[in-house]
Chains A and B, each alone.
Chain A
Amino acid sequence: MTDIGLPLARPAGQDLGGLARYAARVVAPPLVAVVLLLGGWELLARSGLVTARLLPSPTLVYDTLIRSLGVLLEQAAPTFWGAVAGIVAAALLGIALGAAVSYSRTLMQMVYPTIVFFQLIPKVALAPVFLLWFGTGFAANVIFSVFIAFFPVVVATITGLQAAPPGYERLCRSLMMPRWRMFATVKLPFALPHIFAGLRIGVTFAVIGVVLGEFITAQAGLGYIILFSANNFETALLLAAILLLCGVGIVLFAFFLALEAIVIRFYDSR
């Protein structure tokens, strides 16, 4: 074991072997588990022990997904864009408020416990009130989604802005650096991993907020399709819609992972 970890010092063949070992250890076991799970499900559904209403087979769900793809994608659009609008607004508001609150110790001691309080209470219960206030359209769903996704972002921003080591802060002060420059060059880079962690939670919450609004108003969106197919016992359509919704959630999540990688690389390269 003289390998010191430099990629250039490693012969190419060894790298491939490492890749294969990585695949065998990390990728293969969950893949096998998924195949076993789907296979068992398919067998159970085909054995006739459970009806297709209760548990449609994976192939039936796939068929339904392909057959109803037009309708499903049409309904996925408001859900997707609602969640995008929700997380973008929640991110802007959350980061701005977090930064403002972190500016003063008094403000922070005043506001932070209130924010934590809102973190702990079941905010979804407020959905009907938002619909009373803002109507039953797309806008109300987005506003509710912003409300739900906002809190993890604020809390993460406030936590992150305290993450810079106090020594750095003292150094900046003694160099007479203006506060906004200290914020941009020291505090923000240290806060970024926390902020992105908050955004990752927030983006899941934003999707939940939109879907919940769609559950209650039942006019459009994947939430509406899910509720509609559950009421009609069209379980295959229900599962297809949930699958598409999971796709929406994972696409948005992956977008924020990519954004995090880009932003962090940008800061690292300076």
Chain B
Amino acid sequence: MDPEPVALTPSPAAPGGAFRLVDLLSSPLYERLRPLLLPAAFGGGLLLLWQVLAVAFDYPKVILPAPSDIWAALVTDFGAIWQQTIPTVRDTLAGFLVAALFGVGLASLLGFNRLVRDAVYPLVVIIQLVPKIAWTPLFIVWVGIGWQSRLTIAAFIGFFPIFIAMMAGLESTDRSLVRLSRGLTATPWRTFWLVRFPAAMPYLFSGLKIGITLAVIGVIVAEFISSSEGLGFLILKSAALLRTDLILAAITVLCVIGLGGYGAIHAGEIAVRRWQGE
């Protein structure tokens, strides 16, 4: 099972005696790398198993292309994939920005007025429960089949987690800090900007992380339903042409986009935390 042949030969680094696998497995270096090595081995093993099964049983490529086939499709059709990647990324980013702006803005506004908050917040929580992806055709009726509707859908779907996280963050602010700043005659605006907004940051970032994932999903679904560009369109077109390898290649690119967005927000969170001096 263990792929490392090192264990079979005596290592020059080991002082005297033969090198033993047990030593390697209990070394502090292995303990440190374990959280990285184990999932990498598992993921690599899955891919290897997939490749071996696909080749050994000679599955038709239409049903189950091997990872090597997917890679080949990714390389040979890279031009076509890249051409469709640009609109998807553009609409996702734009939709996410609008969602973040509205989510943070509306949550901050509601933080100033208790009555409006009590009126609007429960409604948003209820809408959060219903399957919003299903509203996509409605937006296409309203906004048309261009990039505008994709942007609107991504913004609509990405808005809710960001708004709810920001609300939760603003409400989690330490009450005594708010009272203190009021006692020091800070205006509501200064209290918001200097105390409540920074306190909401961790919540906001977790909401943004969900929001960017949902924005990608919104754009893809909109491209499924009506579009002549984007990776969702490419996936549906490849499905019609039974090019399963191309579908999976496009999905690989989508995974990279999704993880890239998530990683960028995570990096932003670390930067903000460092800037806040934690």
Against A, the Cβ 8 Å flags (1 = close, 0 = not) of B33-47 are 011001101110010
Docked-complex contact B247 and A129, CB < 8 angstroms? yes
| Chain B at the A interface: SS class | helix
Indicate whether B189 reaches chain A with its CB closer than 8 angstroms.
Answer: no
Nearest chain A residue, comparing its CB with the CB of B136: A215
Asked if B134 contacts A242 (CB within 8 A), the reply is: yes
Binding-face segment, A70-78, A189-197, A245-253 = A245-253
| Neighbouring A residues of B251 by C-beta, 8 Å | 121, 125-126, 129
B119 touches A33 (CB 8 A): yes
Which residues from B are CB-within-8-Å of A33?
119-120, 123
* B194 CB-CB contact with A under 8 Å: no
User: Which bucket holds chain B's interface residue count?
Assistant: 35 or more
**What CA separation (Å) do A246 and B248 show in the bound complex?**
32
- In the complex, number of A-B residue pairs with CB atoms less than 8 Å apart: 147
C-beta contact mask, B193-224 vs A, less than 8 Å → 1, else 0? 00000000000000000000100110011001
Partner of A227, one of B41, B137, B247: B137
Task: Chain A residues near B248: list those with CB within 8 A.
Answer: 129
Q: Are A121 and B119 in contact (CB under 8 A)?
A: no
Stretch in contact with the other chain, from A4-12, A104-112, A166-174, A259-267: A104-112
Are the C-beta atoms of B130 and A250 separated by less than 8 Å? yes
Chain B contacts for A222, CB-based, 8 A: 134
Q: Would you call B107 an interface residue if the criterion is a C-beta within 8 Å of the partner chain's C-beta atoms?
A: no
Contact flags (1/0) for B149-174 with A, using CB distance below 8 Å?
Answer: 00000000000000000000000000
Q: Is A230 in contact with chain B by the CB < 8 A criterion?
A: yes
Q: Which residue of A lies closest to B118 (CB)?
A: A29
The answer to whether A113 and B123 touch across the interface, beta carbons within 8 angstroms, is no
B41 to chain A: which residues have CB within 8 Å?
Answer: 110
From A153-161, A175-183, A204-212, give the one contacting chain B: A204-212
Known: A207-B134, A249-B131. 4 other contacts (CB 8 A): A128-B224, A129-B244, A132-B244, A133-B63
Residues of B within 8 A of A (CB): 34-35, 38-39, 41-43, 46, 62-63, 115, 118-123, 126, 129-131, 133-138, 140-142, 213, 216-217, 220-221, 224-225, 231-232, 235-236, 238-239, 242, 244, 247-248, 250-251, 254-255, 257-259, 262
